[in-house]
Amino acid sequence: MSPIRTMTLNMGPQHPSTHGVLRLVLELDGEVVVKCIPHIGYLHTGIEKGLEGKRFQQGIPLTDRMDYLAPLSNNLALVLAVEKALGITVPERGQTIRVMLAELTRIKSHLVWLGTHALDIGAMTVFLYCFREREQILDLYEAASGQRMMSSYFRVGGLAADLPPGFEDGVHAFLETFPDRQAEYEALLTKNPLWLQRTVGIGTISRDDAIAFGLSGPALRACGVSYDVRKAHPYSGYERYQFDIPLGKNGDVYDRYMVRMAEMRQSWRIASQALQRLQPGPINVTDPKLVPPPKQLIKRSMEALIHHFKLYSEGFHVPPGEVYQPIEAPKGELGVYLVTDGGNKPYRVHFRAPSFVNLQALPKMVEGRLVADVVAVIGSLDIVLGEIDR
């Protein structure tokens, strides 16, 4: 009789349900995963290195390419870090627009997660529904920034431009219909016996393990740990909004699903409040060394012309030091560690990418389970390889 042998299976990097170019080497005993080794780096584009060669404002478009499902969250993390190092705060209207768009971004990111996660498990319809609503948000992105995906709309000191006329109506129209649309997704999944079978008790991680592995975002909150950067360390005026932190209990795929579904409702609440708070006013700081002067002024004022020229030829200098700025991105805690040396470019930028850290816990969640569950667990972690590999 031959000894029992395990089979090694290569999953990815070109596998539709690894959500990008993730490669997993699975050691299987029949259908049970004995060992899982993730291999990453296929999408490494040297974003951190690239940022060292660019002036502070020039680096913003690079950040869009990290978590490409939530570009504005990445923008926000970088500009907040630079603003922290500069010691400036953006005016009320600028902050409100940032919060409103960041929450729409969260809904947009969660919609892609929900659609693809359900698709991986075998529920095709949800995908089509989710992308229908995502399209509305992409239209809003396009109206504000001119770009559907790589929007680069936030700037150090404020925004690239004020919102176009009619934008608020567009947000209002989206927010008005979204709760009903979300009820449609939930009707398809939340109590669906097939969905429950594939998600309840799958990919479980304990509260202590989640903390030890540094999980953040919905993956951590699904274990019952109440940590949300927006509440713990509010930025951009989040302390002025009313919202709750949805928590799970069991830390399995189903709880992560429930937490994200509830989060979309909270994002809807925050975006609605932001829309109400939106008052006319300045969107940028007034410092002419950080923000370009209005075009009309350049034609009349010599000083404005000089500021404009200096800003676009040299940029601005940030005092030497180091800051860490976390934000609550759709995937978890996105942190920017910025080291400055007094120059007009960052000396070192590091992104604490939530997907990178969350993915590390994958072997812990899938070892000893069936190979079919691997797909469900990857989906429930909501990883984006652009952010993992940077």
Which residues are near other proteins by CB under 8 A? 40-41, 44, 46, 48-50, 53, 84-88, 211-214, 225, 227, 232-233, 285, 287, 289, 319, 321-324, 326, 333, 335, 337, 339, 341, 347-348, 350, 352, 356-357, 360, 389-390
Q: Give the nearer residue to other proteins in terms of CB position, either 98 or 345.
A: 345
Closest separation in Å from C-beta 357 to other proteins: 6
Give the residue from 155, 169, 149, 160 showing the smallest Cα distance to 108.
149
Least gap, CB of 98 to other proteins (angstroms): 19
**Cα of 107 vs its chain's centroid, Å:** 10
DSSP letter string over 300-369?
H-HHHHHHHHHHHHT-----SEEEEEEEEETTEEEEEEEEE-SSSS-SEEEEE-HHHHHHHTHHHHHTTS
CB of 213 to other proteins, least distance (A): 5
The three-state secondary structure class of 159 is strand
Q: How far is the CB of 389 from other proteins (least distance, A)?
A: 6
Q: In this complex, which beta carbon is closest to other proteins, that of residue 184 or of residue 209?
A: 209
Q: Output the smallest distance, CB 278 to other proteins, in A.
A: 25
Token digits of residue 127: 């995908």
Contacts for 161-165: CB closer than 8 Å, 24+ residues apart:
162/283, 163/97
CB-nearer residue toward other proteins: 131 or 347: 347
| CB nearer to other proteins: pick between 328 and 389 | 389
Q: What CA–CA distance (Å, rounded) separates 207 from 229? A: 18
Q: Which is nearer to other proteins, 264 or 318 (by Cβ)?
A: 318
233 or 265: whose CB is closer to other proteins? Answer: 233
- Indicate the residue among 328 and 333 with the shorter CB distance to other proteins: 333
**Cα–Cα distance, 63 to 47 (Å, whole number):** 8
**Residue 358 CB, nearest approach to other proteins (Å):** 10
- The minimum distance between CB 352 and other proteins, in angstroms, equals 4
User: Residue 40 carries which side chain, given as an amino acid letter?
Assistant: I
Beta bridge partners of 39: 23
The vertex-132 CA angle with 150 and 260, nearest 5°, equals: 80
